């Protein structure tokens, strides 16, 4: 195998890596926002909200991300819904980030729900007895504790997003896999660019996994 091409195309891989990290961060942030709303809807006493939240979670978790991306990128424009470029950000990036965000939101919702339910029920009862309403109790007492409990899980969700972001190369987002395809076509080397891509993904996920592991240990000591 010959990796001599790397000196010429290293900048493309660096750019692709930055796009992968950026779109994964964006998807995690918006996924957490979406997940929070879906989680609260599912925990709501209103049956209609619970049904909507449950349906959202089951559909998004029960269908392939690949299909969801195709529906968003190719299907929505057919009914008049387009994702325009904003502030120099390509419509491909926005479409990919949107698809990853709504998919991640379904998983984050379940992570948040388990975190909220792990908080001692006596906390809710004590807060209500002190005069706090349900919304205030959730906002100031329950959710802050739940978030602390699920931070490692959210960090693992980010690692998952980094790996899953590879699939958005199918819609032209210039992340790591799309970059590998460009280099493969220019150098006529089918294997080596993919190996470089695999190494980059491994370095990213391995580093993040180690950081999450250290964070979990510190959190365990703080809670001890």
Q: Which two tokens stand for residue 145?
A: 């504790």
Q: How confident is the model at residue 222 (pLDDT cuts 50, 70, 90)?
A: low
The pLDDT assigned to 188 comes to 87
- Separation CA 29–CA 132 (nearest Å): 29
Do 190 and 61 meet the contact criterion of CB atoms below 8 Å apart? Answer: no
Q: How confident is the model at residue 115 (pLDDT cuts 50, 70, 90)?
A: confident
| Angle, vertex CA 190, rays to CA 189 and CA 191, nearest 5 | 100
The pLDDT assigned to 49 comes to 93
The pLDDT assigned to 198 comes to 95
Of 182, 52, 159, 171, nearest in space to 104 by CA = 159
Q: Which CATH superfamily is domain 20-165 in?
A: MetI-like (1.10.3720.10)
The pLDDT assigned to 142 comes to 79
Pick the range with the lowest mean pLDDT from 99-108, 124-133, 188-197.
124-133
The pLDDT assigned to 22 comes to 94
The pLDDT assigned to 175 comes to 93
The larger pLDDT score, comparing residue 86 to residue 207, is at: 207
Rounded average pLDDT over 195-223: 85
Q: What is the DSSP letter of 5?
A: T
The pLDDT assigned to 224 comes to 57
The pLDDT assigned to 105 comes to 95
pLDDT higher than threshold 90 for residue 107? yes
Phi, psi angles (nearest 5°) of residue 49? -65, -40
Q: Which two tokens stand for residue 99?
A: 């698809």
Rounded average pLDDT over 57-65: 94
Of 163, 47, 60, nearest in space to 107 by CA = 60
Q: State the CB neighbour count (10 A cutoff) for residue 54.
A: 14
- Residue-range domain boundaries for the chain: 20-165
- Separation CA 44–CA 92 (nearest Å): 35
Residue 54: CB partners within 8 Å, gap ≥ 6?
A: 42
- Separation CA 95–CA 99 (nearest Å): 6
pLDDT higher than threshold 90 for residue 12? yes
Residue 160: CB partners within 8 Å, gap ≥ 6?
A: 107
Do 118 and 149 meet the contact criterion of CB atoms below 8 Å apart? Answer: yes
């Amino acid at each position: 195998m010959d990796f001599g091409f790397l000196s010429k195309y290293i900048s493309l891989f660096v750019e692709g890596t930055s796009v992968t990290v950026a779109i994964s961060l964006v998807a995690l942030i918006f996924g957490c926002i979406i997940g929070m709303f879906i989680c609260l809807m599912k925990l709501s006493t209103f049956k209609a909200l619970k049904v909507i939240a449950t349906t959202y979670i089951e559909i998004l978790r029960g269908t392939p991300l690949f299909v969801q991306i195709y529906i968003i990128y190719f299907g929505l424009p057919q009914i008049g819904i387009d994702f325009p470029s904003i502030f120099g950000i390509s419509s491909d990036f926005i479409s990919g980030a949107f698809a990853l965000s709504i998919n991640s939101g379904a998983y984050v919702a379940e992570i948040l729900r388990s975190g909220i339910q792990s908080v001692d029920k006596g906390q809710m009862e004590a807060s209500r007895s002190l005069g706090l309403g349900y919304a205030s109790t959730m906002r100031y007492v329950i959710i802050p504790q739940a978030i602390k409990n699920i931070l490692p899980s959210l960090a693992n969700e980010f690692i998952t997003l980094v790996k899953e972001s590879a699939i958005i190369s199918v819609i032209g987002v210039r992340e790591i896999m799309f970059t590998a395809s460009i280099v493969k076509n220019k150098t006529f080397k089918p294997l080596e660019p993919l190996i470089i891509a695999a190494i980059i993904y491994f370095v990213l996920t391995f580093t993040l996994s180690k950081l999450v592991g250290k964070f979990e240990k510190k959190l365990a000591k703080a809670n001890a």
